[in-house]
Amino acid sequence: MIKTDVLIIGAGAVGVALARELSKYKIKTIVCDKNDDVGGDASKSNSGLTSTSATMPVGTLECKIRTISHSMVDNICRDLDIPIIHCGSIAPVLYPEQMENVPGLLARAFQNGVYDYEFLPKEDILEMEPTLNPNILGGIYSPRDSQVNQFLVVIAEAENAAENGVEFLLDCKVEDICVSNGRVEKVVTSKGEIEAKWVVNCAGLHCDDIAKMVDECDFTVHPRKGEFFVFSHNTPVKVSHIISSVPSAKTRGVLVIPTVDNNMIVGPTADDVEDKTDRMTTREGLESVRTQALAMVPGLRFEDTIAQFVGARPAREPEGYNIVVSKKALGYVGISGVRSTGLTASFALAKYIAHEMQEAGLVLERKVGWIRTRRGIVRFADKTDAERDALIAKDPLYGKIICRCEQVTESEILQAIRRPVGAKTLDAVKRRVRAGMGRCQGGFCSPLIIEILARELGIPEEEVRKRGQKAFMLADND
């Protein structure tokens, strides 16, 4: 049986940030996830914003943790080589009714210590962002909101945690937790049993299912669906700030988001649904995104959409971040309610959870030689001709383009597969290096990546999967 000091359930933003934090200490940490890759569920299908706490409910744990975490983002991105753009955000005020909300929003931001969240007159806003509707009444400017590559946040942290000794068990679903004499004893998974002194539930949308296993579930979790459009790089009207609806209590509303990859995503909706597996876009959802986005940025060309996707926020009833260090099942720690803000908040949340565990008896003795930094895969597409020549001279596979739309080379794909916690499916390659994310959505490069994955993983091409257990790319005709 595998034995560990800490078992983290869930390799999303929260679980992996905690794993990296714990990798600083002389303990054994394992992360297991039912998925075939790190990156989580909500954590890989969100807006990628790292925002201040301007609009957060005042005085809540969520607000406190997000405020601290936001101040950590730049250092984490620098240390782990995660792309980030400091573009700021603008919430254009379109109607007189929205104007009535502005004083309340500014007062709340001030109470949350976000003093640079300001209302600016129409003329100034239009000069900063000429793509906006010329009939706006003004806008709220938030200069410290940024956009990161949300896939690489989790992948980079996982690679770094693995380099520092954390083990990742993927395709490994937790089915039960056994408690004996009031203490967590072992965890039953689809890959066998794991004996763990501490079990941390970072299972997002499924954290209630896990909490029930130790009788620590006095809440429910349901998906709050968000639908998005992805635009092509070549669309003529592009925003240079994050454009956001004037926020409401439930959501920040529809956003037009410039990304680190120089394209735009537009969305999300915020619809409460029952089914935790529902990832279908809907005509109504997308139409509502389109209407709201066009009201803010009338020139957007939705004809330039190349993909649509859905993310599901793990919305908790009652709402709010909740961290339980169990007294009934010693060693169990449950995290729930990390809904719309968890990408930004995960860095400080990890520290907070580790501290709570230490207070409850986990001995955290610092290792010597913990590796703080990780370097990303060098992207051919971002380089000048001279830099490209230098890359090819060092590694000729940088001269072989596999994904034409995004200019991704064979060298980058091999690195994505060969790194710690490497890619084993087409989607995992895509999230690491963007192969298949361009205009043709993998039409050209998929067969080539199937060949490379089969060769590298030592499996027949028929066994190469898009994602998950059953999504094989090729039919086996035998």
Ligand X SMILES: Cc1cc2nc3c(=O)[nH]c(=O)nc-3n(C[C@H](O)[C@H](O)[C@H](O)COP(=O)(O)OP(=O)(O)OC[C@H]3O[C@@H](n4cnc5c(N)ncnc54)[C@H](O)[C@@H]3O)c2cc1C
Using CB under 6 A as the binding rule, whether residue 24 contacts ligand X is answered as no
Looking at the Cβ atoms of 52 and 407, the one nearer to ligand X is 52
| Alpha carbon distance 470, 460 (integer Å) | 15
- Residue 223 CB coordination number (10 Å): 24
Measured from the CB of residue 315, what is the shortest distance to ligand X in angstroms? 9
Measured from the CB of residue 342, what is the shortest distance to ligand X in angstroms? 2
Using CB under 6 A as the binding rule, whether residue 63 contacts ligand X is answered as no
Looking at the Cβ atoms of 285 and 342, the one nearer to ligand X is 342
Using CB under 6 A as the binding rule, whether residue 32 contacts ligand X is answered as yes
Q: Which residues, including other chains, have CB under 8 Å from residue 183's CB and lie 6 or more apart?
A: 329, 330, 331
| Alpha carbon distance 115, 392 (integer Å) | 48
Measured from the CB of residue 362, what is the shortest distance to ligand X in angstroms? 20
Looking at the Cβ atoms of 34 and 374, the one nearer to ligand X is 34
Work out which of 20, 24, 34, 316 binds ligand X, going by CB under 6 A. 34
Q: Are strands 29-32 and 2-9 parallel, antiparallel or unpaired?
A: parallel
Using CB under 6 A as the binding rule, whether residue 40 contacts ligand X is answered as yes
- Chain centroid to CA 293: 23
Residue 25 is given by DSSP the state: B
For the chain, state the CA radius of gyration: 23
Contact 37, 52 (CB under 8 A): no
Choose the stretch contacting ligand X; rule: CB under 6 A; options: 34-42, 97-105, 180-188, 275-283: 34-42
Measured from the CB of residue 403, what is the shortest distance to ligand X in angstroms? 25
Looking at the Cβ atoms of 17 and 403, the one nearer to ligand X is 17
Using CB under 6 A as the binding rule, whether residue 258 contacts ligand X is answered as no
Binding flags for ligand X, 324-343, as an x/- string (CB under 6 A)? --------------xxxxxx
Looking at the Cβ atoms of 30 and 136, the one nearer to ligand X is 30
| Alpha carbon distance 325, 331 (integer Å) | 8
| Alpha carbon distance 379, 433 (integer Å) | 8
Using CB under 6 A as the binding rule, whether residue 200 contacts ligand X is answered as no
| Alpha carbon distance 130, 124 (integer Å) | 10
SS3 call for 7 = strand
Residue 112 is given by DSSP the state: T
Site for ligand X in 218-247 (CB under 6 A): 226
Using CB under 6 A as the binding rule, whether residue 271 contacts ligand X is answered as no
Using CB under 6 A as the binding rule, whether residue 6 contacts ligand X is answered as no
Site for ligand X in 126-185 (CB under 6 A): 173-174
Using CB under 6 A as the binding rule, whether residue 15 contacts ligand X is answered as yes
Here the tokens at position 447 are 């067969």
Measured from the CB of residue 17, what is the shortest distance to ligand X in angstroms? 8
Contact 183, 330 (CB under 8 A): yes
Measured from the CB of residue 387, what is the shortest distance to ligand X in angstroms? 32
| Alpha carbon distance 202, 334 (integer Å) | 7
Measured from the CB of residue 273, what is the shortest distance to ligand X in angstroms? 12
| Alpha carbon distance 448, 400 (integer Å) | 11
Looking at the Cβ atoms of 341 and 407, the one nearer to ligand X is 341
| Alpha carbon distance 32, 152 (integer Å) | 19
Q: Which residues bind ligand X (CB under 6 A)?
A: 9-15, 32-35, 40-43, 45-49, 173-174, 202-206, 210, 226, 268, 311-313, 338-344
